[in-house]
């Protein structure tokens, strides 16, 4: 059994948002995104795959289509296939999100 401690994957990079892989298969990925204040994942879209963002720490701003919302820990959003989405950290604290996408592009 492959058990992961999320805390062990909570690492940050001064250059850009850190994507830390927890699980990766041919069907999906399951990552921990770590954003320092001012960092972002640019808005983009995926054909044929849905993505889910679950906030663990911080207050990141999620863009989904033409909507934007600051999320709190424990809140999750799904970006359906083809809908532009991205996340940024405008807050003063680090942000940590669990992110999965299936099927894997």
pLDDT tens digits, one per residue of 32-82: 999 999 999 999 999 999 999 999 999 999 999 999 999 999 999 999 999
The Cα–Cα gap between 66 and 87 comes to 13
The whole model's pTM is what? Answer: 0.94
pLDDT attached to residue 20: 97
pLDDT tens digits, one per residue of 11-26: 999 999 999 999 999 9
The Cα–Cα gap between 53 and 5 comes to 18
**H helical segments located in 33-98:** none
């Amino acid at each position: 059994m492959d058990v992961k401690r999320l805390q062990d994957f909570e690492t940050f990079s001064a250059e850009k948002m850190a994507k830390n892989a927890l699980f990766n298969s041919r069907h999906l990925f399951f990552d921990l995104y770590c954003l320092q204040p001012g960092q972002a994942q640019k808005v983009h879209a995926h054909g044929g795959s849905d993505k889910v963002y679950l906030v663990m720490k911080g207050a990141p701003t999620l863009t989904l289509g033409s909507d934007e919302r600051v999320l709190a820990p424990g809140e999750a959003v799904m970006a359906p296939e083809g809908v532009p989405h991205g996340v940024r950290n405008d807050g003063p604290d680090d942000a940590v999100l669990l992110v999965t996408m299936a099927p894997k592009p």
